[in-house]
Amino acid sequence: MVESHYDFFLSHPSAEKPRARQLYGALANAHSVFLDEQGVPLGASFSEVIRSAQLNSAITVLLVSQHSKQAFYQGEELVIGIELARANPLKHKVIPVYLDGRPGVTEWNFFGIHVLQSVDLQKVGDFNAVADLLSTVIKTRKDPRVENRHEHLIEHPLHKFRRDAFVDGDLIPKSLFDEFGKRFSSLVDQQLIIRDANSYRKQADQNDPTVKLIQPHRIAPAMYSSSYDYWFYVFEQARIIGARMLAALVLSVPDIGFEEDSRTQRRAMLESIAVL
């Protein structure tokens, strides 16, 4: 079977099939788009065709609603999309499209997608507007000289937090130092988390060369102090830089596995430093 190459792979919960068809119709005239009911020929292996289509797509478009929480196959497609994007960011991208409004930073979270730049259907208007935005993204990826007139409509989660607003240290729960310390005690793990947090922070303001980041070389490695103390000083740097850097650090680490009290305190802190 000859593999097809697609601009967009549409991932959706079964309950959102009607709205997936609307977006497919808005995109299909100008782009190659994979939608399962349109792209799987009779007699073919459903799972193999879908996997091949996603592997050979430029962008996984994730249609997100409350139904996504129970959508097992969409969860798998998200994991595959993120793996593809991490392996080659220039070749693959994952863009969530929130069908019923983007949840707040502390509301339900589908497999950690709050860290991805996204599109809010309710804000842009209709599926033709979503298609226009996605079309510009694909054109920009193919030719960087193409101006992305709609870039401001792709929301970055960190824009919910002020850029350089100093955060009061009393707002940061000590349980976070414990949770980070237990999970990331080796020097390699610590450096990787800080690198991810800094990368996430830069992503939020890509065109600003003045963005301030955590400087790990200014912090004594955990081998010279406790892991708890190490993360205390990392959080100190982040809060002094500002709310957006602190949020980038916290959101870079999913709270899966945290104690319930720690998760509650984490959510409360993020709510307290978010721009209302």
What are the pLDDT digits (tens) for 174-186?
999 999 998 888 8
The token pair at 273 is: 């430093």
C-alpha pair distances (Å), 23 with each of 28, 44, 54, 130, 152: 8, 24, 17, 8, 20
CB neighbour class for 173 (10 Å; exposed up to 12, middle 13-18, buried from 19): middle
pLDDT tens sequence across 42-89: 666 778 889 999 999 999 999 999 898 888 888 899 889 988 887 787
Q: Beta-carbon neighbour count of residue 7 at 10 Å? A: 21
Average pLDDT for 182-207: 87
Average pLDDT for 269-273: 90
Question: Is residue 165 classed as helix, strand or coil in its secondary structure?
Answer: coil
pLDDT score recorded for residue 45? 74
* Numbers of helices and strands, H then E, in the chain: 11, 5
pLDDT score recorded for residue 223? 60
pLDDT score recorded for residue 31? 94
> Which range has the worst mean pLDDT, 98-107, 203-212, 247-256?
98-107
Domain 6-155, what fold?
Rossmann fold (3.40.50)
Domain ranges of the chain: 6-155, 160-273
Residue 32 has pLDDT above 80, yes or no: yes
CB neighbour class for 127 (10 Å; exposed up to 12, middle 13-18, buried from 19): buried
Amino acid found at 172: I
Category of 112 on φ-ψ map: left (φ > 0), alpha (ψ -120 to 50) or beta: left
In the DSSP assignment, the letter for residue 216 is G
Binned at pLDDT 50, 70 and 90, residue 141 comes out as low
The token pair at 92 is: 């693959």
d(CA 159, CA 172): 20
CB neighbour class for 260 (10 Å; exposed up to 12, middle 13-18, buried from 19): exposed
pLDDT score recorded for residue 263? 87
CB within 8 Å of 26: residues ≥ 6 apart = 127, 128, 130, 131
pLDDT tens sequence across 118-136: 899 988 889 999 999 999 8
Listed residue (67, 80, 60) closest to 7, CA to CA: 60
Average pLDDT for 31-51: 82
Alpha helices in the chain (DSSP H): 17-27, 36-39, 46-55, 72-87, 121-124, 127-142, 174-183, 187-204, 227-241, 243-251, 260-273
Higher-confidence residue of 143 and 22: namely 22
Residue 215 has pLDDT above 90, yes or no: yes
pLDDT score recorded for residue 111? 60
Starting at the earlier edge strand, list the strands of the sheet with 119-120.
33-34, 6-11, 57-64, 93-98, 119-120
Listed residue (272, 101, 159) closest to 264, CA to CA: 272
pLDDT score recorded for residue 145? 45
Residue 150 has pLDDT above 60, yes or no: no
Binned at pLDDT 50, 70 and 90, residue 192 comes out as confident
pLDDT score recorded for residue 88? 80
